[in-house]
Amino acid sequence: MRRLCKGNVAVIKGAILAGCRAFYGYPITPASEITEAAALYLPQVGGTFLQAESEVAAINMVYGAAAAGVRVMSASSGPGLSLMQEGISYLAGAELPCVIVDVMRGGPGLGNIAPEQSDYFATVKGGGHGNYRNFVLAPASVQEMAELTMLAFELADKYRNPAIVLADGFVGQMMESLDLEFREAIVPEKPWSVKGTPETRQNLVSSIYLEPDDLEQHQRRMEAKYIRAQQSETLFEQYETDDAELLLVGFGIVSRVLRSAVEQARKQGWKVGLFRPITLWPYPSKELASIVAGAESVLVVELSNGQMLEDVQLAVGSNKPVAFYGRVGGNVPSVEEILEQIEKQMSVRV
């Protein structure tokens, strides 16, 4: 069924199709419509919705539902995500699958409610304490807000780990066509869960390992699954990269601006291409390195002071020059701005 839909609402529609039956959260702009849509739609499919008293309470409720084997989610924005970080670490340590949507706003502190991409470090690099990783998926459209939410549930269950859908406020608030078909959600069995039944009476969900050797063994097991994920779960999109001399790199709403800039640059005779990471963790580093091998330089564009920039630099190495252009405070660069940056990079090479 195809209809006009807001990105934040598409998240819940995708979640329900993925078999999510519990949502615990606290509204915050520009993510509030996710909580509103969850309150509207989840009870209609027999699910549970609860507006918690805070983000701290919400993430701990997610922990409880995940421990019971339920596909569960929450949603917030930067300030709320900050409050959830300890709980996310606990979820990762207890190897509990869940999905958290972060619709990024300007920061730090309260900042404003306009779009940024400055929660990259907080989600991709961990945010909470200890050795753990989050799966991080970055949608660039309303359609992907639904589809990547569905994928997030699958990855969370496959690896028993938190998965984050990381969207900027622009994508969360925009309205586009959404095309979804009903499908039967296949939720895997979770024999490790605690359901209050005789069969699960002996199960224990915890992240505490008092003996150093036990904790080290636990972390090594987690490390092994993260390595497996890095080898098989990366997603990306490329556009006009075959003969690109300058490669643009961006995610979320920025990637859409960059795509338009590539089209305009090509009309002016500049050989420019686009690389869009869809999984921010695991980051498609090998794929980026392979594609950039044929280019002469790279331009990274973000709604931040340069956070993903570090991962691009690690992937590219010292063989190619990497330039950066960022907007902050809730500002989104125009196509004309990017064309100016492209012209500057092309003139540097000449």
Tell me, yes or no, whether 9 and 83 share the same domain. yes
Give the pLDDT mean for 308-337: 96
Q: Which among 95, 88, 250, 252 has a CA at the least distance from the CA of 166? A: 252
Go through the chain and tell me how many residues it has: 350
Helix, coil or strand: residue 312: helix
Tell me, yes or no, whether 162 and 310 share the same domain. no
Give the pLDDT mean for 290-305: 97
List Cα–Cα distances, 115 to 104, 170, 204, 253, 350, in angstroms: 6, 6, 41, 9, 35
Of all residues in the chain, what percent carry a pLDDT higher than 90? 95
Tell me, yes or no, whether 91 and 191 share the same domain. yes
The dihedral region occupied by 252, where left means phi > 0, alpha psi between -120 and 50, and beta the remainder, is left
Which pLDDT score, from 0 to 100, does residue 350 have? 52
The dihedral region occupied by 46, where left means phi > 0, alpha psi between -120 and 50, and beta the remainder, is left
CA distance 350 to 168: 35
Tell me, yes or no, whether 73 and 164 share the same domain. yes
Residues 131-149 have pLDDT tens digits of 999 999 999 999 999 999 9
When mean pLDDT is compared across 158-172, 184-198, 227-241, 289-303, the lowest value belongs to: 184-198
Domain boundary among 232, 248, 274: 232
Q: Which among 300, 304, 320 has a CA at the least distance from the CA of 312? A: 300
> What is the Cα Rg of the chain in Å?
21
As a whole number, the mean pLDDT across the chain is: 97
Tell me, yes or no, whether 80 and 44 share the same domain. yes
CA distance 181 to 49: 23
H/E segment holding residue 149: helix 142-159
Q: How confident is the model at residue 347 (pLDDT cuts 50, 70, 90)?
A: confident
CA distance 89 to 130: 7
**Is residue 349's pLDDT more than 70?**
no
**Is residue 1's pLDDT more than 90?**
no
H/E segment holding residue 281: strand 279-281
Of all residues in the chain, what percent carry a pLDDT higher than 70? 99
> Contact at 8 Å (CB) between 329 and 169?
no
Domain boundary among 199, 217, 232: 232
Tell me, yes or no, whether 202 and 271 share the same domain. no
> Contact at 8 Å (CB) between 89 and 130?
yes
Q: Which residues of 304-323 are buried (b: 16+ CB within 10 A; e: fewer)?
A: bebbbbebbbebbeeeeebe
Q: Regarding beta strands 272-277 and 246-249, do their DSSP bridges make them parallel or antiparallel, or are they unpaired?
A: parallel
Tell me, yes or no, whether 209 and 338 share the same domain. no
Tell me, yes or no, whether 121 and 107 share the same domain. yes
> Contact at 8 Å (CB) between 128 and 82?
no
Chain centroid, CA 111 distance in Å: 21
Helix, coil or strand: residue 295: coil
Chain centroid, CA 12 distance in Å: 15
**Is residue 339's pLDDT more than 90?**
yes
Give the pLDDT mean for 49-57: 98
- Give the structural domain span for 97: 2-232
Tell me, yes or no, whether 11 and 159 share the same domain. yes
Q: How many other C-beta atoms lie within 10 A of the C-beta of residue 11?
A: 33
* CATH code assigned at 281: 3.40.50.920
Tell me, yes or no, whether 119 and 241 share the same domain. no
Which pLDDT score, from 0 to 100, does residue 52 have? 98
Tell me, yes or no, whether 220 and 286 share the same domain. no
**Is residue 184's pLDDT more than 90?**
no
Write down the residue that tokens 């991962």 correspond to: 311
At residue 168, what is the residue type? D
Give the pLDDT mean for 121-139: 96
Give the pLDDT mean for 96-101: 98
For helices 7-17 and 142-159, angle between their N-to-C axes, nearest 10 degrees: 40
Residues 202-248 have pLDDT tens digits of 999 999 999 999 999 999 999 999 999 999 999 999 999 999 999 99
Q: How confident is the model at residue 182 (pLDDT cuts 50, 70, 90)?
A: confident
Tell me, yes or no, whether 172 and 212 share the same domain. yes
Domain boundary among 168, 199, 232: 232
CA distance 76 to 181: 27
178: tokens are: 């959404």
